Amino acid sequence: MEKPIFDYGVNTTRRHFLSKLSLGLGSAALGSLLIPDLFKGGGGEPDVNELMAGLPHFAPKAKRVIYLFQNGAPSQLDLFDYKPMLNKMHGQDLPESIRGGQRLTGMTANQAKFPLAGSIFNFKQHGKSGAWMSELLPHMAGIADDLCIIKTLNTEAINHDPALTFFQTGAQVGNRPSFGAWLSYGLGSENQNLPGFCVLLSRGKGNGQGVYSKLWTNGFLDSVHQGVQFSSGENPVLYLNDPDGMDRTQRRKMLDNLAELNQGTFNDFGDPEITAKVQQYEMAFRMQTAVPEITDMSKEPESIVKMYGPECLVPGTYAANCLLARKLSEQGVRFVQLYHQGWDSHGGLPTEIKGQCMDVDQASAALVTDLKQRGLLDETLVIWGGEFGRTNYCQGTLTKDNYGRDHHPRAFTVWMAGGGIKPGIVYGETDEFGYNIVKDPVHVHDFHATILNQLGLDHEKLVYKHQGRRYRLTDVAGKLVKGIIA
């Protein structure tokens, strides 16, 4: 008798089973009602408009960026990353354990040996942080206390075009919006009379690599966010001047009439691109007076000319572009992008890099000092660096005083100044071969995330929905480099 009773207690009848099942299902059903997006695909992520409302996300430290891009990749081992070990082992083969299966470019992949090449340039420590810099950079050395030298940038690309594109757009393939375009999209222009994103090009005598307009593209963003290239010729901005025989009042009248017509079309069709176009015409009209004011260098005091070097008055030089960059930035241009070509020293590096440094050293340092003495360095972030580094081993024949270096993505040096970045520090360490990172790596995505942070933007929230997904400058990666934030 006891056993059946026991069994009865232990075993569940069908009725019990079903009633418990219904309770369980009921509880799950109620639960599902409490989670509204549960059965919608992908749910849970907030809306783009919600994310983009209220920019900047928090009070920015930097309002503007000047990016001095050293196109072609300067050799970190001859400028910043002092490695006496390479001099000691000059000519010996790079140990395979250090190379660690690194993918090489077609230019050195077939080399039988990878002889280490120590820099022939002398290094000294500068500033309170004791940052090492080579004799090629006397002016930058002079502002060591203003610089945050990051020795551990690293990228995924090993060739110029993908690497450049990666730095500029956050992806190695083209057609994504450029960094400046993202900022223009996120923060708009400060000065309504100038574009928010300007591009300046110059060329050194060293082995050059191409710069293409895809690097300052708006990608899938609105075309107003595209970078505007300033040229060194008579007309810094193309097609801005009135044609011969047309004066400003006539132009004004023409624009007014055109705007009327456009307004009419807008009333009929309601296409917002039409009003965008009218605004662009208006801005171009205002640029007609704003641009000459900026490109006129005659009012710069002599001390400025001495500081940047007299080349700064020769249009199209790097020094001139640095000076122009300061003027544009001062006038509220959100992102000024410089490119200086000629750093791709596969051979004859000692000669080439000397020339390149002559071009950029003084003017880069002058730009930082100039912003500082105007009280603008706090809110302007200056960045100096290339798309990757150069190898510690020689490409081609290694002699006592001549060598070349191939592309090196694993570790290279970039510096920043101002914009709420810690001044006077050296961040990150590479191994004694200068080949691998041993401490505090900074990936390109991290670099982007940190710069956006300085501008008051959360890199995870600056998004644009395109072709069914939300895009970010940092794609799906990137973390803040807290160690360099002041």
Partner 1 sequence: MSDWKGYVYNIAFFLNGLLVFLLFFESRFAVPQWMQALGRMHPLVLHFPLVVLILYSLWVMIVRKPDSHAWNEGLADSLLVIGTFTAAVAAFSGFVLSHEEGYESDTLLWHKWLGIAISLAAVVWYGARKSLLPWTVGAKVVAGAFLVLLFVGGHLGGNLTHGEDFLISPLGPSAEPVQHVAFEEAKVYEHLVKPVIEQKCLSCHNEEKSKGGLQMQTEALLKKGGKGGMLWDTTKADLGLLISRLHLPLDDKKHMPPRGKVQLTDEEVVLLAAWVKSGSRFDQLVSSLSPQSPVYSYAQNVLGGDRTEEQYAFSAASADEVKKLNTNYRLIKPLSAGSPALFVNFYNRANFKSQDIEGLLPLKDQIVSMDLSKMPVKDEDLKTLAKFPELRRLILNFTDITGSNLTELKKLANLRELSLSGTGITMAHVKSLEGFPALRRVYLWSTGIGPQDLETLKKGQKIAFETGFRSDTLVVALNPPVIINEKQLIGKGETVAMKHQIAGTVIRYTLDGSEPDSVSSPVYEKPIAINGNLKLKARAFRKGWYGSTQVSKLFFKEGFHVDSAQLITPVDQRYHAKGAASISDGKVGDTERVSGTWLGYVENDFQSYLFFKKPVKASVVTVSTLRSFGSFIFEPTRIEVWGGADPKTLKLLKVITPGVPAKDIPGTENIVYEAGFEPQQLSCIKLVAKPLAKIPAWHSGKGNKGWLFVDEVIVN
Piece in contact with partner 1 (CB under 8 A), picked from 106-114, 153-161, 306-314, 407-415: 306-314
CB of 19 to partner 1, least distance (A): 7
Among 60, 206, 385, 428, binds partner 1 (CB under 8 A): 60
Q: Any contact of residue 468 with partner 1 (CB under 8 A)? A: no
**DSSP state, residue 130:** T
Among 44, 101, 243, 468, binds partner 1 (CB under 8 A): 44
Kindly state the number of chain residues that form the binding site for partner 1, as judged by CB under 8 A.
71
Site for partner 1 in 378-397 (CB under 8 A): none
CB of 175 to partner 1, least distance (A): 30
Q: Any contact of residue 1 with partner 1 (CB under 8 A)? A: no
CB of 268 to partner 1, least distance (A): 28
Q: Any contact of residue 311 with partner 1 (CB under 8 A)? A: yes
CA distances from 272 to 32, 49, 51, 177 (A): 40, 17, 22, 21
CB-based contact 160:191 (threshold 8 Å): no
Q: Any contact of residue 18 with partner 1 (CB under 8 A)? A: no
Question: Tokens 């002559």 identify what position?
Answer: 358
Among 96, 256, 302, 401, binds partner 1 (CB under 8 A): 302
Q: Are strands 412-418 and 147-154 parallel, antiparallel or unpaired?
A: antiparallel
Among 1, 30, 109, 112, binds partner 1 (CB under 8 A): 30
In 3D space, the residue among 428, 317, 421, 344 whose CA is nearest the CA of residue 377 turns out to be: 421
DSSP per residue over 288-334, as a string? HHHHHHHH--TTS-HHHHHHH-GGGGSTTSHHHHHHHHHHHHHTT-S
Q: Any contact of residue 17 with partner 1 (CB under 8 A)? A: no
How many C-alpha atoms does 366 have within 13 Å on its Cβ side?
25
First-residue to last-residue Cα distance in the chain:
81
Q: Could you tell me the two tokens for 168?
A: 């500029």
Q: Any contact of residue 53 with partner 1 (CB under 8 A)? A: yes
Among 17, 18, 20, 175, binds partner 1 (CB under 8 A): 20
Among 54, 101, 233, 468, binds partner 1 (CB under 8 A): 54
Q: Which is nearer to partner 1, 311 or 406 (CB)?
A: 311
Buried b (16+ CB within 10 A) or exposed e, 74-98: bbbbbbbbbbeebeebbeeebeeeb
Q: Could you tell me the two tokens for 385?
A: 């660096």
Among 352, 370, 387, 446, binds partner 1 (CB under 8 A): 370
Q: Any contact of residue 235 with partner 1 (CB under 8 A)? A: no
Question: Tokens 């024949």 identify what position?
Answer: 397
User: Which three-class secondary structure state does DSSP give residue 223?
Assistant: helix
Q: Which is nearer to partner 1, 60 or 206 (CB)?
A: 60
Pattern of binders to partner 1 over 173-212, x per CB under 8 A? -----------------xxxx-------------------
Q: Could you tell me the two tokens for 107?
A: 């230019």
Site for partner 1 in 89-108 (CB under 8 A): none
CB of 193 to partner 1, least distance (A): 6
- Give the contacts of 292 (CB within 8 A, at least 6 positions apart): none
Site for partner 1 in 100-159 (CB under 8 A): 128-129, 145
Q: Any contact of residue 334 with partner 1 (CB under 8 A)? A: no
CB-based contact 198:331 (threshold 8 Å): no
Site for partner 1 in 263-282 (CB under 8 A): none
Q: Any contact of residue 355 with partner 1 (CB under 8 A)? A: no
Measured CA to CA, the distance from residue 149 to residue 127 in angstroms comes to 12
Q: Which is nearer to partner 1, 37 or 273 (CB)?
A: 37
